[in-house]
């Protein structure tokens, strides 16, 4: 299918001064889009975060030109991406602060994110570039970049399992696996062609958010055009529907046990879905809203607190970009 190229150890570029055109173009294309999701923290952090924040809060991303993806790091740390510039911010949900961490090279984008805290790596989906990026979360240095696809492509979201990083492509019925060995070294990516209902491709956005259950043995993907969730066998690419109510504007997703949090961007809400034991169905048990939501796209979980990036798609004067925290419920 599409060829892959790998470029290791690229240094971080100097700060650019004018990238507005790239931001506007990519924001217009990304309707809707997803970002990374994160795994639950240890119980000690869960108690600390939930006791510290009992109400909705807003954490500004200073100087951001756009926003989309968010990922949980170590402890209460999070990473959030500047969609059009590709820059990465690092923040803290306990402190309620964030700052620029990675000044990405010109021409990059940052859609979905996922942090590998064991190996101190951050995986970033590159959107219409067809690329995936890997950064060192200790230094902010670029570790490697990979050309996953070319042509009509949109590398949208990423999740991690013990096998490596799985990326979605919103323009085709494919996933990409970037293997990661025991020492944290990324290998050459491989393409997984989907079959079954998740393989449906329309002119708009298709595969979007991605997460995993059963210790990574089963993937779950969100399909924006179909307003639905599907299971995917990562070995074969075979998919099956998870019967739920329709999920309009479904974007980033996050699984914790038998629960999936599904962000519905332009609906300004998160649906909490309880999955059946066999993953054939799910029931929306709660709908989480906030007056601070402004087209949230992706979600990370910190104990009993959800953190979401506000993308503000279509806003003429967004007034800055931020991460919003709300009780998970």
Per-residue pLDDT tens digits for 188-208: 999 999 999 999 999 989 999
pLDDT greater at residue 2 or residue 70? 70
Judge whether 20 lies within some domain.
Answer: no
Instruction: Tell me the CATH number at 64.
Output: 2.120.10.30
Residue 29: in which H helix or E strand, if any?
helix 20-29
The total of structural domains in the chain comes to: 1
> What integer best gives the mean pLDDT of the chain?
88
> Is 155:149 a contact under the CB 8 Å cutoff?
yes
pLDDT over 80 at 282, yes or no: yes
pLDDT of residue 205: 95
> Is 211:219 a contact under the CB 8 Å cutoff?
yes
150 φ, ψ to 5°?
Answer: -130, 170
What number of residues does the chain have?
329
pLDDT confidence tier of residue 53, bands split at 50, 70 and 90: very low
C-alpha triplet 52, 58, 61: angle, nearest 5°: 120
pLDDT confidence tier of residue 5, bands split at 50, 70 and 90: very low
From first CA to last CA, the distance across the chain in angstroms is: 43
Judge whether 17 lies within some domain.
Answer: no
Per residue in 221-267, pLDDT (tens digit) is 999 999 999 999 999 999 999 999 999 999 999 999 999 999 999 99
Judge whether 18 lies within some domain.
Answer: no
Domain range for 323 is: 5-12+35-327
pLDDT over 50 at 316, yes or no: yes
pLDDT over 80 at 28, yes or no: no
Judge whether 167 lies within some domain.
Answer: yes
Judge whether 19 lies within some domain.
Answer: no
Separation CA 83–CA 96 (nearest Å): 21
pLDDT confidence tier of residue 54, bands split at 50, 70 and 90: low
> Is 247:222 a contact under the CB 8 Å cutoff?
yes
Judge whether 27 lies within some domain.
Answer: no
Judge whether 228 lies within some domain.
Answer: yes
Query: pTM to 2 decimals?
Result: 0.86
Helices (H), strands (E): how many in the chain?
2, 25
Judge whether 252 lies within some domain.
Answer: yes
């Amino acid at each position: 299918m599409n060829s892959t190229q790998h470029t290791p150890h690229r240094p971080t570029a100097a700060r650019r001064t004018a990238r507005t055109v790239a931001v506007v173009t990519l924001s217009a294309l990304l309707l809707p889009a997803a970002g990374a999701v994160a795994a639950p923290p240890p119980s000690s952090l869960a108690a600390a975060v939930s006791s510290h924040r009992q109400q909705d809060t807003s954490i500004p991303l200073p100087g951001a030109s756009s926003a989309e993806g968010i990922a949980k790091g170590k402890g209460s740390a999070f990473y959030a991406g500047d969609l059009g510039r590709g820059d990465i911010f690092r923040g803290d949900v306990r402190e309620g602060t964030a700052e620029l961490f990675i000044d990405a090279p010109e021409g990059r984008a940052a859609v979905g994110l996922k942090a590998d805290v064991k190996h101190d790596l951050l995986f970033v989906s590159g959107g219409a570039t067809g690329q995936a990026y890997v950064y060192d979360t200790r230094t902010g240095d670029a570790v490697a970049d990979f050309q996953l696809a070319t042509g009509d492509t949109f590398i949208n979201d990423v999740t991690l399992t013990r096998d490596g990083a799985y990326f979605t492509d919103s323009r085709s019925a494919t996933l990409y696996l970037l293997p990661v060995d025991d020492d944290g070294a990324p290998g050459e990516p491989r393409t997984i062609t989907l079959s079954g209902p998740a393989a449906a491709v329309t002119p708009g956005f298709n595969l979007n958010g991605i997460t995993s259950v059963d210790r990574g043995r089963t993937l779950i993907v969100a399909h924006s055009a179909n307003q639905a969730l599907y299971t995917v066998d990562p070995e074969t690419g075979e998919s099956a529907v998870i019967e739920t109510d329709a999920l309009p504007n479904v974007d980033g997703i996050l699984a914790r046990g038998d629960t999936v949090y599904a962000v519905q961007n332009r609906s300004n809400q998160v649906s909490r879905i309880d999955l059946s034991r066999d993953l054939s169905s799910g029931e929306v048990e709660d709908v989480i809203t906030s007056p601070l939501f402004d087209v949230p796209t992706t979600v990370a979980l910190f104990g009993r607190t959800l953190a979401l990036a506000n993308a503000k798609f279509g806003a003429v004067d967004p007034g800055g970009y931020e991460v919003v925290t709300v009780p998970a419920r």
